[in-house]
Amino acid sequence: MKEFELKYGCNPNQKPAKIYMREGGELPLEVLSGRPGYINFLDALNSWQLVKELKAALNMPAATSFKHVSPTSGAVGLPLSEKLKRACFVQDMPELDDSPLACAYARARGTDRLSSFGDWAALSDVCDVATAKLLKREVSDGVIAPGYTPEALEILRAKRGGKYNVVQIDPDYVPEVQERKQVFGITFEQGRNNFKIDAALLSNIVTANKTLPESAVRDLIVSLITLKYTQSNSVCYAVDGQAIGVGAGQQSRIHCTRLAGSKADTWFLRQADKVLALPFKPELARPERDNVIDGYINQNEEDVTADGVWQRYFTERPAPFTKEEQRQYLDTVTGVALGSDAFFPFSDNIERAFRSGVSFVAEPGGSIRDDAVIDCCNQHNMVMAFTGMRLFHH
């Protein structure tokens, strides 16, 4: 296939639209089902790079969930605890235990379920039946993978009456060294960001505490590779082989840190006993439950436990999850990794990260206030590595 005609570009008025190779060669992908659009392909090609790099760096199956050209999460295929299965709504899928790839997508999809609603999924490995079954039951726009087993492809082709977007990409495709795009009729050209992220990048530890366990190395790599394909400015919290909070596209770094931290907090709180025990009405769909859980945790203006409200969702009135109870729960969290795509200009970022259980930090360094940031890490006994490399993505 030399080109693929799109229904329209970013918006319906932007026509005609298509994807093609600049020199007229064959596209390194095949559309197996559906008709992906402009934004779908932006998500597909960025998300594929993320999972391909995660797999290469950690030698584990990887998955990501993308929305509007940024990941909601990225994860590798570690088993899920029983509480995490319940928080991700996959406790009824025993087949996940035999599929690391399905575990990776369950983690990625389950991290920020509000943002992942209508996502684009990317898989580092051939899609198996367990992963296809998980994709089938979620509200999702499409998936990209290096291949699909026959039964998995049959499951996905049946989704949305055959309109679900399924893309297969050549895993051996290597793009040109130079990349180009146009803005306002002017062509920009730059070298591709082929910077390798691995354990060696974390060797320059600048804090008094220099104990960086293998699990933290893994999580910092997950965080940094996720950031490499997140619209900047961006900050990413990670733990247990998955990104648990991504703060994307903010103009100020502290806003990135707060946004990502609030998402990480919600991810932890979803696994609290009080949340897992919410007495949902059995007919309430998963997306509605996600909205209710978010309101229950974050105490939206229309409190889901208020008079005349809780009856819509629950079989009985649940007790509120107070801010004091949530703070006590979050104060028990430690061992979280934090990556930043550029240096932290002030120590307020470290103070906010500490409130979400961060123990390990990776950032480029190079700020005139590096000493203040290092000192703040030392006060909280954190380990911080300077990577020396900025990871802006636009």
Q: What is the per-residue pLDDT across 230-248, written as a single tens digit (0 to 9) for each? A: 999 999 999 999 999 999 9
Looking at residue 1, its pLDDT comes to 81
Q: Is the same domain home to 98 and 184?
A: no
Q: Is the same domain home to 215 and 100?
A: no
Q: Is the same domain home to 102 and 26?
A: yes
Domain's final residue, options 301, 320, 339 = 320
Please count the structural domains in the chain.
Answer: 3
Distance (Å, whole) CA 127 – CA 144: 9
- The average pLDDT across 331-335 equals 97
Asked if the structure places residue 301 within a domain, the reply is yes
Six-digit token string for 50:
């993320």
Q: Is the same domain home to 37 and 138?
A: yes
Q: Is the same domain home to 244 and 279?
A: no
The CATH number that applies at residue 315 is: 1.10.287
Looking at residue 256, its pLDDT comes to 97
Asked if the structure places residue 325 within a domain, the reply is no
What does the angle CA 366 – CA 370 – CA 374 come to, to the nearest 5 degrees? Answer: 135
What digits encode the pLDDT tens for the residues 30-45? 999 999 999 999 999 9
Is the CB of residue 51 less than 8 Å from the CB of residue 126?
no
Distance (Å, whole) CA 83 – CA 276: 8
The CATH number that applies at residue 224 is: 3.40.140.20
Asked if the structure places residue 393 within a domain, the reply is no
What digits encode the pLDDT tens for the residues 149-183? 999 999 999 999 999 999 999 999 999 999 999 99
For CA atoms 72, 78, 80, 85, give the dihedral sign.
positive
Whether residue 81 is predicted with pLDDT greater than 70 in this model: the reply is yes
Asked if the structure places residue 32 within a domain, the reply is yes
Whether residue 301 is predicted with pLDDT greater than 70 in this model: the reply is no
Distance (Å, whole) CA 148 – CA 157: 11
Confidence band, pLDDT 50/70/90 cuts, at residue 321? very high
Q: Is the same domain home to 236 and 370?
A: yes
Q: Whole-model pTM?
A: 0.96
Q: Is the same domain home to 279 and 132?
A: no
Q: Which residue has the tokens 């029983």?
A: 82
Looking at residue 302, its pLDDT comes to 64
What digits encode the pLDDT tens for the residues 18-29? 999 988 789 999
Q: Is the same domain home to 138 and 262?
A: no
Looking at residue 156, its pLDDT comes to 98
Q: Is the same domain home to 77 and 129?
A: yes
Confidence band, pLDDT 50/70/90 cuts, at residue 380? very high
Looking at residue 2, its pLDDT comes to 87
Domain's final residue, options 174, 202, 225 = 174
Six-digit token string for 326:
């949530």
Q: Which domain holds residue 110?
A: 3-174
Positions annotated as catalytic residues are 67-68, 233, 394
Domain's final residue, options 119, 152, 174 = 174
Q: Is the same domain home to 91 and 227?
A: no
Asked if the structure places residue 85 within a domain, the reply is yes
Distance (Å, whole) CA 142 – CA 136: 10
What digits encode the pLDDT tens for the residues 257-294? 999 999 999 999 999 999 999 999 999 999 999 999 99
What digits encode the pLDDT tens for the residues 113-153? 999 999 999 999 999 999 999 999 999 999 999 999 999 99
Q: Is the same domain home to 152 and 190?
A: no
Distance (Å, whole) CA 162 – CA 141: 12
Distance (Å, whole) CA 108 – CA 356: 19
